[in-house]
Structure 1
């Protein structure tokens, strides 16, 4: 696979592009993301599905700009897919031929099931959950993939989309007809004889816009859309307010951005109807969709479209990009596990914290790479945004705080106040802070010494080969969690 790859997705409402750089066999990172709301399907549903001249020209000009960006970034592979608008349009071939002749770009029109499958591949690899149904609301259609134990069982596409609903129903103020149309189409999901999970992974611009509105309303502390989750029951009233808004000013007061005024009511109406009809209890928002699914199907073609077991693409990508010494990283990771296991009778943390401590220990030197001074603070800010995929928000916040407080003193309750809704109790974070600080202290001189840890009642006995004065004094300065004593043998 090419080191730098461009994926372009021509949707009914928006055209999007991602440029991804591969850093090792399965690791990659995003180097560009561009969106243009060309509304290529504008007017088509009122005209027999035919693409109209002005929207086609907007798409043509935007594609030219996309390709300029791709070429400037030295992309060596471009994959371009088109979805509902082009597969429905009788005159799609005219547009496709023009693009091929003028730009040398081949557009692959994918069917609805394939579009749903790509969304499922992205979510099953890049969302931290095992059982869910993806819901991808576009301008012309909505796609669903049913995922169980991380595997896609079935994928389906229905002709329910924001632009389609707007032109066929909302412009005529036929809300009752719109509801009946959606419910009639949703019957196909129940005909699949598949148990519908209570968790939906939301994909697409409309659903992401709704999640941003909900995050702002709830004063959510982390400004990250991928992985954001919320309870459907808690937000139904706000969704109703958006659907029933009379003016753009009303939408603005509800937190809707100007560029979403044209289709947010239709998108919200579709999503709310789906959530209620499928009895969805929780929504997880995905920042990844069809584009990432296309890329992953290319990247993971030799592994049945799945990352290897226990592989995390975000961690691997950061280790690659910052060129962190593999021997030091491996040492800090294994030593973190030894410390955690030895102290488990005292800290009594859930086992998920073990992996978070290992990851924090491996990634802590990122701060020094950014700037040696204030390295912990630098790492904190970067980790909050840099762990892009396959992490719950709570996990990335815990890792970031563990690194930030990997120093002699333990964090106080006030230190954790900003992100308290995503963090465990203060005593748990004190343990995480102490364990990573001890891990760093024993390898202060980067000699990767052999260390043995033994808990005797409430005393952690540390047997350290070639003990040096610097290491011993640094360990001695560590603030200890309550009930713990240290003895350096």
Structure 2
């Protein structure tokens, strides 16, 4: 695959583009994301499914702009897919031919099952979970991909979408007709005769907009949508309030942004009906969808469309982008695991913290690259937003705080107050702080020394191949939990 790749997704309501830059075999980073709400399907459901001239012109002009951005970013490969609006429209070839002739862009119209599959591949690789059903609400259709134990079981597309429901039912104030239409379509889910997970991964603009409102209403401390999780039943009343809103002022008071006034009621109605009918307990918001799925099926075409075991794309891409020395990174990771394991009788932490300590140790030097002074604070801010994929919100907050507290003194309760609901206990964070600080001190001169750790009661004995005054003095300054004694 080309180093810089552009993926364009022409949906019924919005047209979106991502430009992704590959940094190593599987790692990549997002360098541009552009969205245009061209509403290409506007008016089509009231006109026998035919695309109308004005929406097609909006899409045409936006595609020209998308291609200008792609060219400026030196993208060598462009993949453009179209979903419900173009696959349903009898006159879609008129638009497709014009784009090909005038802009030299080939549009691939994908069927609903493939669209659902792409969403499943994106969620499977870029979210920290392995059993769920994706729900991708678009303007003309809604896609479902069932994933169990890390494998895609089934993909299906249903003809329920925000623009379709709006034009056929909501504009006629036929709410019960809309409900019956959705429930009739959902029968196809039950006909699959597969176990329906109780966890939904929500994809698409409508679901993301709803998640933003939920986050705001709950005063959530982290301003990151991808990976945000909430209980479906707890937010059911909020969704009902959006559905029952009488005007735009009502929607605004509920936290709905202006650009979502036109379809948010239909989106909330479809999503709430799905959650209720499928008895869903939990919703995970995905910032990735069809576009990322298209990219990943290309990148991972020889790996069954799945990253290798223990591969984390966010960590690898950051190591690549900041050109962190591989030998130093490997040493810090290995040494972190040694420290964690030898001290386990004292800290008694779950092994998930071992993984997070290793990641924090590998990435801690990013702060110095950004700005040597206040490097820990720089790394903290960057890591909160830089671990884009494959991380629970709790995990990214723990990694960021572990790096922030990689200094001589242990964190206090006031230090973790802002993100307290996403962090473990203060005692756990003090152990994480101490272990990464010890790891950094051991390699203070970047010599990657051979080291052996022995725990004897409350004394940690450290055998170093080459003793160094710099290392010794830095270790002596460390504040340790539970009065741990360190001897070199």
Cα-to-partner distance string for 1:291-349 (whole Å, 9 max, x where unaligned): 00000000000111010110000000000000000000000000000000000010011
Aligned to 2:374: 374
Residue 436 of structure 1 aligns to a residue in which SS? helix
1:166-212 deviation per Cα after TM superposition (whole angstroms, max 9, x unaligned): 00000000001000000000000000001000000000000000000
Aligned to 2:127: 127
Q: In the TM superposition, what whole-angstrom CA distance separates every residue of 1:222-271 from its partner, at most 9, and x where no partner exists?
A: 00000000001111111111110111111111010000000000000000
Which aligned pairs between 1:36-435 and structure 2 lie closer than 5 A?
36-435=36-435
d(CA) in 1 for partners of 2:483 and 2:353?
A: 20
Distance 1:462 1:245 in 2: 66
- Offset at residue 133 of structure 1 (A): 0.3
Structure 2 alignment gaps of length 5 or more: none
Partner of 1:469 in structure 2? 469
Take 2:285 and 2:151, find their aligned partners in 1: how far apart are those partners?
A: 19
Query: Secondary structure of the equivalent of 1:454?
Result: strand
> How far apart in 2 are the matches of 1:353 and 1:472?
26
Q: Distance in 2 between matches of 1:324 and 1:29?
A: 16
Quote the RMSD (CA, aligned, Å): 0.5
Question: How many Å separate the matches in 1 of 2:468 and 2:195?
Answer: 61
| Secondary structure, counterpart of 2:21 in structure 1 | strand
The answer to whether the aligner puts 1:453 opposite 2:446 as a matched pair is no
Q: What TM-score do you get using the length of structure 1 for normalisation?
A: 0.99
Q: Name the stretch that deviates more: 89-98 or 474-483.
A: 474-483
Shift of 1:415: 0.2
CA distance in 2 between partners of 1:266 and 1:192 (Å)? 26
Question: Take 1:429 and 1:340, find their aligned partners in 2: how far apart are those partners?
Answer: 13
Q: What secondary structure sits across from 1:243 in the alignment?
A: helix
SS at match of 2:302: helix
Please report how far the alpha carbon of residue 487 of structure 1 lies from its aligned counterpart in structure 2 after TM superposition: 1.5
Superimposed CA distance per residue, residues 123-165 of structure 1 (whole angstroms, 9 cap, x where no aligned partner) = 0111101110000000000000000011100000000000000
**Which residue of structure 1 lines up, in the alignment, with residue 2 of structure 2?**
2
Q: TM-score, normalised by structure 2?
A: 1.00
Structure 1 SS opposite 2:145: strand
Shift of the alpha carbon at 1:483?
Answer: 3.9
- Could you report, residue by residue, the CA deviation over 1:345-383 in whole angstroms, capped at 9, with x for unpaired residues? 100111100000000000000000100001000000000
Runs of 4+ in 1 over 2 A off after TM superposition: none
> Partners of 1:417 and 1:84 in 2: how far apart?
46
**Separation in 1 of the partners of 2:99 and 2:53?**
14
Give the Cα–Cα distance (whole angstroms) in 1 for the partners of residues 484 and 252 of structure 2.
54
Is 2:473 the partner of 1:479? no
Residues matched between the structures, number: 488
- The 2-side partners of 1:406 and 1:94 are apart by 60
Aligned mates of 2:213, 2:439 — CA distance in 1:
41
Give the superposition deviation at 1:426.
0.3
In structure 1, what is the equivalent of residue 35 of structure 2?
35
Tell me how far apart the structure 2 counterparts of residues 132 and 425 of structure 1 sit (CA, whole Å). Answer: 29
Q: Any idea what SS the aligned residue of 1:302 has?
A: coil
